[in-house]
Amino acid sequence: MPELPEVEIVKQSLAKNVISQKILKVIVRNRNLRFKIPKNFENTIKNQKIISIRRFSKYLIIKLSKKLYCILHLGMSGTLHLVKKNKKNTITNSSFYHSPFLPNKHNHVELVFKNLRVIYNDPRRFGYFKILDNQIKLKNFINNYGIEPLNRNFNFYYVKKKLHDKRKNIKNYLLDQKFVSGIGNIYASEILFESKINPKKKSCDLSDQELRNIVKYSKIVLNKSIKKGGSSIRNFVNTSGDFGSFQKCFKVYEREGKKCPDRKCEGEIKRIIISNRSTFYCNCCQN
């Protein structure tokens, strides 16, 4: 599932290529995404210029001329591919968890620009496009979600206020999009490992220092991944499409049975299920 750092990298690749460009043609091959793409989608965005692209949580917000906003969520398996005209680019994927090549199937939506095509691929079709036709609707959309982890208002005072009386475990809270928006399952485990907090610990039992650690490491872990993700995209080219090195950067995620990466710790990485999601932690330094 694309997580915040991946969506940030997609945003950067996309912005580099399509800002100020006009959408010349829109091709929809399959309307049945998580929300059905409306019939007027093509006509609404055709001939519009891309003014800016920003990311909120795991959403891309593409501002078009005429004050239209196109929201794109990649769902479980969505990827964006950039295919340049008159250039044999085999590496098309703008994200870093997935294969770098353009797949043959599931290319549901295509935006055609002067020198480039942007192709939305999504085998499981949980992603979606949504058009908002004014700024108030965009504001309302964003206000439905909790604060972003990289926002400076995601700080000790905020988490203390929200969590001091909550009995639910901290892992669940990190995934609660009304509390903090954009931390997914992979990064929740990684953040708790760096913070040395057991994922099952009740939120109300966290010390001030532990709350400070959660804030600090949420930002550090996500920013590090954005940096690494960016470099792994560049590496696609050098390694002729051999990707996957990014996953090796995780310290606990999918490392069950391995020794704790902390040299001073003798513990082992364990996997447990919390609210149906795999959760990884060290049985020694996170207890």
Q: How far is the CB of 267 from Zn ion (least distance, A)?
A: 4
> Can 256 be counted among the known catalytic residues?
no
> Can 277 be counted among the known catalytic residues?
yes
The reply to whether 267 sits near Zn ion by the rule CB under 5 A is: yes
Q: How far is the CB of 83 from Zn ion (least distance, A)?
A: 44
What's the CA gap between 77 and 228, in Å, rounded?
20
Q: How far is the CB of 220 from Zn ion (least distance, A)?
A: 18
The candidate with the shortest Cα–Cα distance to 7, out of 46, 49, 59, 82, is 59
* Coil, helix or strand at residue 16: helix
Q: Among all chains, which residue has been given the structure tokens 């965005």?
A: 45
Which span (84-92, 110-118, 228-236, 252-260) binds Zn ion, by CB under 5 A? 252-260
What does the per-residue mask of binding to Zn ion show for 206-245, with x meaning CB under 5 A? ----------------------------------------
Q: Per the residue annotation, which of 2, 5, 100, 149 is the catalytic one?
A: 2
Which three-class secondary structure string do you get for 130-181? EEECCHHHHHHHHHCCCECCCCCCCCHHHHHHHHCCCCCEHHHHHHCCCCEC
Q: How far is the CB of 282 from Zn ion (least distance, A)?
A: 3
218 phi and psi angles, rounded to 5 deg: -60, -45
Applying CB under 5 A, among 28, 51, 220, 284 the residue interacting with Zn ion is 284
Rounded alpha-carbon distances, angstroms, from residue 44 to 24, 111, 123 = 12, 13, 25
What's the CA gap between 162 and 167, in Å, rounded?
11
Which span (75-83, 156-164, 169-177, 267-275) binds Zn ion, by CB under 5 A? 267-275
Applying CB under 5 A, among 44, 265, 268, 270 the residue interacting with Zn ion is 265
Q: Per the residue annotation, which of 11, 55, 58, 63 is the catalytic one?
A: 58
275 DSSP assignment: T
Taking a C-beta distance cutoff of 8 angstroms, is the pair 226, 9 a contact?
yes
Q: How far is the CB of 173 from Zn ion (least distance, A)?
A: 22
> Can 58 be counted among the known catalytic residues?
yes
The reply to whether 262 sits near Zn ion by the rule CB under 5 A is: yes
- For Zn ion, the binding residues (CB under 5 A) are 260, 262, 265, 267, 282, 284-285
Residues annotated as catalytic (active site), given as ranges: 2-3, 58, 277
